[in-house]
Structure 1
Amino acid sequence: MILNPDHVTIAVADAGPAIAFFALLGFRKAHVATIDGGVPAQYMGMPGMKAQHITLVLDGADPHFEIQLLAFDPPPATDPGEHPTNLRRRGFNHLAFRVDDIEAATAHLVANGVTMLSDEMDYISRKLRLFEGPEGITIELVQRDD
């Protein structure tokens, strides 16, 4: 059965801002590969896909955890649909990271221009707060009281 999360893949129009955002959370760029068709593109169901595949590793995470960015070439057109931070839509909702000190993590992100989407909430022995991540995805910080 499942042991633990391994990675999350996020498609981005511009990898630079996404790399910078996740660096604020402790991720570092570990590997970059160019996908130009071939086995990876076929595996993903897009045989003609061209993209940069950028692996960001959260150093010190146990178990190992990655965020994998896909920067398509050419970038897909802007989707006129719902903004990703609309948490009422179906499908992907948000990505949560556990922190030791939510106040310090919040101050760090806000000082670096990250948009806070909610006030802090106490819920089931946890402190929670939402932020806008790259490509408008919702990121949640979680400080557990246990």
Structure 2
Amino acid sequence: MFLNVDHVTIAVADAGPAIAFFALLGFREEHVLTIDGGAPAHYMGMPEMKAQHITLALEGANPRFEIQLLEFTPTPGTDPGLHPTNLRERGFNHLALRVDDLGAAAKHLEANGVTMLSEELDYISRKLRLFEGPEGITLELVQWVGS
């Protein structure tokens, strides 16, 4: 039986700015492992893979939720293909994070230089707002209302 989301993994060129960004959202660095071949690399289908695997845990989340960053060595090229904020393409679309006060969360992000991608939208018992994360990924704030 499926219970809940456990984690999302995001490949980044530079983990430092991503760690700082997700700290704004309440994620704290928990541990860092170096992948240099071995079982994790084989599991992912890349037997020669070398990367830092950084686990960020959302403080106070119950159930537990993690963002896992992969910083590959060598760093992949600078062209990620189609821009990851293009929400009309197949594949990864966005990561949504539930908040208790959408307005306050958006102000906090904007005060720290985060680019908001939409105005607030009321939709199916929720307030929603898209914003841009590290390396152009799209994230969303979600506040449940009225239920």
Give the alignment's TM-score, normalised by structure 1: 0.98
What's the counterpart of residue 31 of structure 1?
31
What's the counterpart of residue 121 of structure 1?
121
Percent identical across equivalent pairs?
79
Q: How far apart in 2 are the matches of 1:47 and 1:125?
A: 45
Q: How far apart in 1 are the matches of 2:126 and 2:37?
A: 44
SS in 1 for 2:85: coil
Shift of 1:80: 5.5
What's the counterpart of residue 93 of structure 2?
93
SS in 1 for 2:54: strand
Shift of 1:135: 1.5
Task: Confirm or deny that 1:13 pairs with 2:13.
Answer: yes
Q: How far apart in 1 are the matches of 2:45 and 2:10?
A: 16
What's the counterpart of residue 72 of structure 1?
72
Letter in 1 for 2:86: N
What's the counterpart of residue 107 of structure 1?
107
Letter in 2 for 1:114: V
Instruction: Classify 1:78/1:131 alpha carbon distance in 2 versus 1 (closer, same or farther; 3 Å).
Output: same
User: What runs of 5+ residues in structure 2 fail to find an aligned partner?
Assistant: none
RMSD of aligned alpha carbons: 0.7
SS in 1 for 2:5: coil
Letter in 2 for 1:111: A
Give runs of ≥4 in structure 1 deviating > 6 Å.
Answer: none
User: What runs of 5+ residues in structure 1 fail to find an aligned partner?
Assistant: none
What's the counterpart of residue 61 of structure 2?
61
Q: How far apart in 1 are the matches of 2:91 and 2:79?
A: 15
Give the alignment's TM-score, normalised by structure 2: 0.97
SS in 2 for 1:41: helix
Count of residues paired in the alignment = 146
Once the two structures are superposed, residues 28-53 of structure 1 have per-residue CA deviations (whole angstroms, 9 ceiling, x without a partner) of 00010000000100000000000000
